[in-house]
Amino acid sequence: MAFSALDILLIAVALLAVGLAAVLLTRRAAGEAGQGVAELAGRLKQMAEAQAAANAQLAERLQAQERALAQSVEQRLALLTTKVGEQLDKSAKETTSTVTDLRERLVRIDAAQKQLGELGTHMVELRDILSNKQARGAFGEVMLEDLVRQVLPRDYYEFQCAVGQGRADCLLRLPNPPGSIVVDAKFPLESWRVLAEAGDDAERRQAARIFATAMTKHIMDIRDKYIVPGETGEQAMMFLPSEAIYAELHTSHPEIVERSYKERVFIVSPTTMWALLNTVRAVLKDVRMREQAGVIQIEVGKLLDDIERLDERAVNLQKHFAQAEKDIREIGISSDRIKARAERIGEVELGGEDAAGAAVADLAAARQTLGSPQR
């Protein structure tokens, strides 16, 4: 803690007073009151003057230190103010960015919350649909129809058609083998829901037995109603409109799946049904290609016959061209001979009977040449 010059002066005066009192007491005790007081006063005066000079120097030093300290404090305050301003600007920018991010996230959260609300509404609607057996059947039929319409050509399926003694949800009209296949879109959801909501092990075992019984009965019903010799193939399908139930069925109830294989009633989900339909489409494409292969072979045979006839006609035409070429060549030879004989006739001079006879002979020869065929 720094002391001012006045405080130091007061402290010095107090110390002098205490010293003076001590000296007076000492002198009084020794009996030297008169002369000692004068000496003591002189010494006190000297000490006071020395103390005043020291106090002046000390005051000057203190003022210099105060000025230096004030200047250093001002510099440090200016630097601190600059740093605080920069930090505040940085904090303001970060705060603004954070607020912007928070607003964007709140917007996304509101959108996600809205979607969750809509999804909850849809889930409630789906639960209501699945709780009603008739509506559940319609839901499975609609999903099955959408899958079939998206994959197969129109001529290879039919919905709600009579098969045997029942009415099939979907009939896949496939060539033999395998033949037509019925797809049933119903499922005993009530027993499954009891199994899913079972509490302890005893309730779960009882619900599992009920579910297995219901599934087995449904599999047997499909087999008896939709596997009709002479009308359908040797297998049928049960369509489950839920991937979760399909996975749980294969994971926790393999005995039901094995029974379906034994009865040739195959259980399918939307994913496996989509894969199966794409396989069926590839098979149908191959069948159509095989059907068209016979027609292509017949047309290729006819094309080969036409090529043979064309070859024969080309050979005949080539013979005609060869004969025409021969005739043209012989006509040229005859023309050259006629020309030569005509020139000899023109050179004949009417001077004697021998020359006239020779000319007549050449003329007869020319006529014979013109009259003889293919010369």
What's the pLDDT band for 14 if we cut at 50, 70, 90?
Answer: low
What's the pLDDT band for 252 if we cut at 50, 70, 90?
Answer: confident
- Provide the whole-model pTM: 0.44
Output the CA torsion sign for 98, 104, 110, 116. Answer: negative
296 pLDDT higher than 80: no
138 pLDDT higher than 80: no
pLDDT at 176: 77
- pLDDT digit string, tens, across residues 230-243: 888 888 888 888 78
pLDDT at 373: 45
Domain boundaries, the chain: 5-98, 132-268, 297-371
- pLDDT digit string, tens, across residues 305-339: 888 888 788 888 888 888 888 888 888 787 777 77
Q: Worst-scoring range by mean pLDDT, 16-20, 148-152, 175-179, 348-352? A: 348-352
Start-to-end CA distance of the chain, whole Å, equals: 154
